[in-house]
Amino acid sequence: MYGSSESGQPAVADPLSGLRKQLTDAYGDQLPTEAIDRIAEESLVEFMDAKVREFVPVLAWRRARQRLRHTT
């Protein structure tokens, strides 16, 4: 998903681990870790084809947070 880029653009580190940690810190006492992980992954997948990769972690975090708020 992330890493080396065939298009010549700089590679972006995989944000999933950081996203999982932030969401677990915020919602871990309210939801199971498995649910948080699933929502984090789904949110990142939505932005997988984004041309501007720098904002993917922020956009995915916002999307996941919105979903988790509706889950709790």
Averaged pLDDT in 10-residue chunks for the chain of 72 residues? 49 80 96 96 94 92 95 81
What pLDDT is attached to residue 40? 96
What pLDDT is attached to residue 17? 93
What pLDDT is attached to residue 11? 53
What pLDDT is attached to residue 3? 47
What pLDDT is attached to residue 8? 55
Q: Model pTM? A: 0.75
Question: Which positions ≥6 away from 16 have C-beta within 8 Å?
Answer: 40, 41, 44
What pLDDT is attached to residue 6? 55
